[in-house]
Amino acid sequence: MTSDVRLPDGYRFRDLKPDNLREVLDIDGWAFPSSVSFEDLEKGNLPLTWERTVGVEAEGHDGLVALHASYPFTEFQVPGGTLPTAGLTWVAVHPQHRRRRLLTGMIDLHMARCRERGEPLSALFAAETAIYGRFGYGRAANDLRLIVPRGAALRDVPGVSDHTVRVEHATRERHGELVARLHRTAGEDPTGGGGVNRPGWALRQTEELQAQFWDDLPAFRHGAETRRIAIVERDGEPRGYCLFRRRLDWQPTGPRGTVRTGEVIALDAAAARALWGVLLDFDLMSETTPFMLPTDDVITHLLVNPRAADPRVTDNVWVRLVDVPTALAGRRYAADVDVVLGVRDDRLPDNAGSWRLRATAFGEATCERTDAAADVELDVRELGSAYLGGVSLASLAGAGLVVGRTPGALSTASTAFNWPVAPMCSWVF
């Protein structure tokens, strides 16, 4: 299948290996300009899985002119379960070779390889949101960004006094296993016993991703301190963590430091309240800025004055159904559903046509091709948006992007595709 993918004349694909590191860093720097030197970049750990990394070279051009790669997410969280998913990443094209359909060729190769590997989904973070919709990716999740003033009032939660928080220098040797374990648990059961998972949650499954995650190079600290970690415990058992850095700034009116956090993970409400109580009360700091939070994160309910945190929502993970029937049968649904979906997919014709989706609430699902007329019609892009349960089919229909053909079918399908927990990926891949 991959042999059928073609690039424009004068260009060819090349599978890359570790000794191509300098070429990879060079093309990445052309696509994503950075002040960090090659020497500093080479001190860090590259997160790529080499056997999933492909370059493009051109006649008469030294080095690579384009690049793409993917991460093997074998346990990517979808509503009610997991499915193998390719995390598309490091998509880059040299500025001299733009507008020559190199991206189109790379996406076609990526999807062909997804099918060969048995990965029914592809997911990505979009550097430019206008690009990937035309390839069938839909915005499937949002995340929340906050700027929380120091000492912001929080509501009380029973059991907070049973928790303690310790703050330490963060190292992989001491904290790697703890972070990986709690991060996994947070994706599988974010409500602490609610029995539902968080769709979109991706684990850092490879050694390369783990090594890069724990890098703490001075060139990437942007004037902040070395990485720290806050660990919340109950009876000596870790119940959450937050990796963070502080940056001190002195103003004529006094210290105006900032706490910048990575993931804020807590396995129950009391642990979350205890952890946030510490993150919002460091000396010499004036604000805490979490990088990404789920839109339904507990802090949105704990803040007495959420407006003061300047809440902003932005797009998170984007999803593309590479194998429609496998993907639809591989998730669970929040209500009984028996609906025929008419799917358009100009890039992967095997996905196009009518599919009968049948499922019981939170039970097994089936999806089979049918000759029956569609009850609901949509493009694969909108199917990707709705897939994780965070974007309703009804809202897409309100924008004219989904059409209900049978009375009641759109409402039924929209309810079924919904999920109790907002989808989100906690880190950018």
DSSP E strands in 129-283: the ranges are: 138-139, 142-145, 148-149, 163-169, 228-234, 237-247, 250-251, 254-255, 257-266
Q: What is the SS3 assignment for 133?
A: helix
Q: What is the pLDDT of residue 297?
A: 97
Q: Which fold has domain 144-315?
A: Aminopeptidase (3.40.630)
Interatomic CA distance for residues 134 and 131, integer angstroms: 7
Q: What is the pLDDT of residue 130?
A: 94
Residues of the chain with pLDDT under 50: none
- Fold agreement (2-119, 318-417): no
Q: Where are the beta strands (DSSP E) in 198-317?
A: 228-234, 237-247, 250-251, 254-255, 257-266, 285-290, 312-315
Between CA 408 and CA 375 the distance in angstroms is 9
Is 296:273 a contact under the CB 8 Å cutoff?
A: no
pLDDT of residue 267: 96
CATH architecture of the domain with residue range 318-417 = 2-Layer Sandwich (3.30)
Domain ranges of the chain: 2-119, 144-315, 318-417
- Three-state SS at 354: strand
d(CA 34, CA 3): 35
pLDDT attached to residue 1? 54
Q: What is the pLDDT of residue 3?
A: 66
Token pair for 403: 């059409």
Count of beta carbons in the 10 Å neighbourhood of residue 200: 30
The pLDDT value given to residue 38: 86
pTM of the shown model: 0.95
CATH class of 2-119: alpha beta
Contact 321, 137 (CB under 8 A): no
What pLDDT shows up at residue 2? 66
